[in-house]
Amino acid sequence: MSSVESRQSVAIIGTGMAGLITAYILRNDPRARFGVEVFEKQQKLSLDSASLTVKNNSGTEQRVDLPMRAFASGFYDNLRRMYDYLGIQYGSQRFIFPFSTISDTNSNDIYTRFIHSSHIHQFPPLRPQGSSWASWLVEALYLLVCYLWMVICSFFIEPKQGDDSRPSETFHQYVARIRLPQYFVKHYYLPIMSAVTTCPHDALLNFPAIDIVNYQAKTFRKPHYTVIGGVSKVQDKLSKGLNVRYSSAAIKVENVGSKVQLTWKNDESGSTESKLYDHVIMAVTPDVVRAIFPPLRSALSVIPTATVPAYVHRDFDRLAKCSQVVDGGIHPEPGLPPPERIHLCSNSSSTEFTHEHLSSVIITTSPIIPIDPSKIEHTVTFTRTLRTPTSRKVTNEIFGPASQSDGDLKQWRNGDGNVWVVGSWCWDGMVLLEGCIASALRIADRLDIEVPWAS
Ligand SMILES: Cc1cc2nc3c(=O)[nH]c(=O)nc-3n(C[C@H](O)[C@H](O)[C@H](O)COP(=O)(O)OP(=O)(O)OC[C@H]3O[C@@H](n4cnc5c(N)ncnc54)[C@H](O)[C@@H]3O)c2cc1C
């Protein structure tokens, strides 16, 4: 199929990682069957839209990715393959995590329990200021035992899968079943997993256990990476030559005859326009899909989303409030950047993350301790999709393989009427970048497109 006229027209809504990967795959179809047009409500591509460039202490400009977009071997196999294919350079990044507890009544009352280094690259572990050798040693041994137990369970005790009569096991039920001590769960496991899911502890406890246990098992002893120079490098590669309509917010997707009609509002002119396509692909969060695509309005109401605020600032006085970390004693490793500190400060219901970026700025996500407003340089808000056993069931009904009982179901399924959904939440797993690529690859498979890095 070579002529442009005979090509199938495709509209993709959203230019986050999922939208850009899907557009790249379709535009690079070896049989050149698709003409792709992309709609983005912002005035720029959204994958890198919240990131910024800052000057570090030596005056050199450095890119700060917002959100962080770290990834690990084991869990992110598709993402790594795509980065390798695109020639994206990424490097291993080590982290130091001071775990502190903040009083619920006084945010100045903070106690640092332990300082963990990723993959225990720092041995012996750093000792928090004010912690005696004896209490530190007892805490370290206790953590080691609890952590090893959690790891063993993640490999050998499978979370209970749900069925039609019973939802899948929650993380809360799983940790109770494997008798993981409450103290460890509350002060260590919930804070570190909250850093991955950026949600309050109650919401995390209600995640399907399978998500967290799988993530734990797949990333065990695997290094974490970040893209060298930031995800703008990925965005540049994926979007080269892309036809994008900026400031164009999709407001309705509907089937009209054998076509799909997309209606959008141009935020600059204020005008509303419609166009028919052969396929429309929504690469947006579930709350947006609900609003623009009536067949999923009811089903997606069970998929929770949360608003996550993040601040880039230079409130260095605040660091001493986040945790009592001893300076020095950090072992540099030849060829690797120095470890970055991420302070995890928790009260009884949530954890805030304060990341000391190597560029010299500080990024605080979901703050509990106040930040000096005069030291804030950049504020951004993200939408995060959460998971529950019920939302997992609905997601699998929409995106999972067709089951025999589907004939009787009224549930709309991905691809019905040539309408598609992709995104980090459109698969059976943690809502992370790997979900973007897994869901895009599913469309490639259904449309019979050969993906160069997947073969
Ligand atoms: C604080 C934080 C930290 C994170 N850290 C990591 C991490 O370290 N590693 C990791 O793997 N994942 C991480 N994630 C998750 C990951 O970044 C996201 O899940 C992923 O980027 C989502 O990509 P997406 O393409 O599915 O959707 P989005 O990035 O949400 O893209 C959709 C885009 O569509 C556009 N849009 C919305 N509505 C419309 C409309 N009506 N019309 C047109 N355009 C529209 C918006 O501009 C939006 O940006 C983090 C998330 C957060 C919030």
Q: How confident is the model at residue 407 (pLDDT cuts 50, 70, 90)?
A: low
Confidence at residue 220, expressed as pLDDT on a 0 to 100 scale: 93
What average pLDDT does range 369-391 have in this prediction?
A: 96
Residue minimizing CA distance to atom 3 of ligand 1: 67
Ligand 1: distance of its center to the CA of 16 in Å?
A: 6
pLDDT of 387 > 60? The answer is: yes
User: 304-344: per-residue pLDDT in tens?
Assistant: 999 999 999 999 998 887 777 665 556 667 777 788 899 99
Is the CB of 67 within 6 Å of ligand 1?
A: yes
User: 64-115: per-residue pLDDT in tens?
Assistant: 999 999 999 899 999 999 999 999 999 988 889 999 999 998 878 888 999 9
Determine, yes or no, domain membership for 455: no
What separation in angstroms does the CA of 400 have from each of 172, 207, 281, 325? 25, 18, 17, 46
Confidence at residue 288, expressed as pLDDT on a 0 to 100 scale: 98
Residue minimizing CA distance to atom 52 of ligand 1: 67
What average pLDDT does range 144-161 have in this prediction?
A: 96
Q: Are residues 337 and 396 in the same domain?
A: no
Higher pLDDT, 44 or 339: 44
Alpha helix positions (H), 283-383: 286-292, 317-322
Number of domain units in the chain:
2
One-letter amino acid for residue 184 of the chain: F
C-alpha angle 220-222-227 in degrees, rounded to nearest 5: 135
Q: Are residues 84 and 218 in the same domain?
A: yes
Tokens representing 8 are 């199938």
User: 173-195: per-residue pLDDT in tens?
Assistant: 999 999 999 999 999 999 999 99
Q: Are residues 194 and 144 in the same domain?
A: yes
Determine, yes or no, domain membership for 134: yes
Q: Are residues 13 and 124 in the same domain?
A: no
337, 365, 385 - which closes a domain:
385
- Measured distance CA(197)–CA(204) in Å, rounded: 8
Residue minimizing CA distance to atom 14 of ligand 1: 432
Asked if 343 and 353 count as a contact pair (C-beta separation under 8 A), the reply is yes
Q: Are residues 126 and 203 in the same domain?
A: yes
Residue ranges making up the domain that contains 106:
52-227+305-385
Ligand 1: distance of its center to the CA of 195 in Å?
A: 16
Q: Are residues 36 and 177 in the same domain?
A: no
